[in-house]
Amino acid sequence: MARWNIPECQWSDELLTHNESIDAQHRELVKRMGQCIASLNAPHEFSFEEELEILDLVVFLLDYVIAHFSHEERIMIESDFPDFLSHRIAHSYYITRLVEFKNRFKQEGFNEGLAEVFHREIVEWLVNHIKYDDRRIASWSQSGVAHKPSPRHL
């Protein structure tokens, strides 16, 4: 019996944006979040080595998310995506949450409060962001009006 029961996170085609590179990176993110959850749900107190392994998973997730967000931001810039700024602010918000999670994990060890934070602020937030916000980038950049010149290009 797991101590925390963080709900699983699995890929589903509901998350497809139909941009090949973005989808490939999202699949990797979902897989890595799933690995974190599986480790965090272990039914015993973590040993020092296990805490380090989980921290490594979280650090990998953080590095991957930063690279992924900058990939999406490049696509948004290249296609003159109209909501670039608010999307970028959302990315910064998420990175801050993930850094806070990592720091609290290091300071406090894992606990029920952090299990809730991981589920709500790290997993659910990203899944909803993919479903509702990232799909808009992909459809905009592939819609044929993606390269409509903005006034600064005229």
Would the CA dihedral through 88, 91, 96, 99 be positive or negative? negative
Residue at token pair 């959302």:
90
CA nearest to 135, candidates 72, 58, 54, 46: 72
Which member of 17, 40, 134, 141 binds Fe ion (CB under 5 A)? 134
CB-CB contact of 3 with 43 (8 Å): yes
- Give least dist CB 119 to Fe ion, A: 20
Binding mask 41-80 for Fe ion (x = CB under 5 A): -------------------------------x--------
- Give least dist CB 94 to Fe ion, A: 8
Question: Would you say 25 or 54 has its CB closer to Fe ion?
Answer: 25
- Chain positions contacting Fe ion, by CB under 5 A: 72, 134
